[in-house]
Amino acid sequence: MAKKEVAVVKNTELAVSNDLPDWLQGKGAARGSENVTTDDMLIPRIELVQALSPARKKSDAAYIEGAEEGMLYNNVTRELYGESVTVVPVFYTKQFLVWKDRKIGGGGSNGFRGAFATKSLADDAITALGEEGLEVSDTAQHFVLVNFGGAWQEAVISMAKSKMKVSKRWNSLMRLTNTDSFARAYKLSCITETNARNESYYNFNISGLGFVTKDVYDRAEKLYDTVRSGGVKVSADYDGEVGAAADPEY
């Protein structure tokens, strides 16, 4: 039997476990969060650790112990997924993100200025902000379920610039199945590519796995309905090179 992971709180007799106790099983609906709505929650983002990612800098608040180049991670929980993870695509949309060039104070979350439904709205925002070095990045947003440690989590994968070609390939693969996008699972991993300056960086890679179980399909369908109705908020924090001004390809 696998050893339970237990964390002991100092100076007390209280111990906590990651395993659901027998006495809590079958209790029914969870209580205490009845007033929590989608406006009170954020869907995290799956990002890639690059050479200059804050996740690798010990002096940065976004630092993740053990983070190495090419790893996937959750930008809200700060969990490292490793070099590959299973995802189920639920909903696709495109947004236009406004970024400030990292050379003049941008980069990561510091450079993010907002997400907009159309390029014209993004251009209007740039005019209103009146800052130098702002530009618009055409960004694909893939809402997914990601399997981590045997449990399914909701997340978003943002793909811009060099990652956009991965998004287009993924959309093509989904269309070829001729069924709901969330009927099949895919392996999300990373590959090494080279930019115009002959510098290596990591990019996403997608490969098909097969059909999901009915339980996973039903959960994905619920997320699909929620996202389509506009009832979710996505984390506005961008640790990695997502924006046009921060893409490692250029």
Per-block mean pLDDT, blocks of 10 residues, the chain (250 long): 43 46 69 62 83 84 87 89 93 85 61 79 84 82 91 90 90 90 93 82 91 92 86 62 43
Q: How far is CA 167 from the centre of its chain?
A: 14
pTM: 0.75
Q: Are 143 and 136 in contact (CB under 8 A)?
A: no
Cα distance between residue 58 and residue 64, in whole Å: 8
Name the β-bridge partners of 7.
Answer: 16
Cα distance between residue 170 and residue 206, in whole Å: 7
Cα distance between residue 169 and residue 38, in whole Å: 31
The pLDDT of residue 145: 94
Cα distance between residue 117 and residue 139, in whole Å: 10
The pLDDT of residue 97: 82
The kind and range of the H/E element at 151 are strand 151-160
Longest Cα separation, the chain: 61
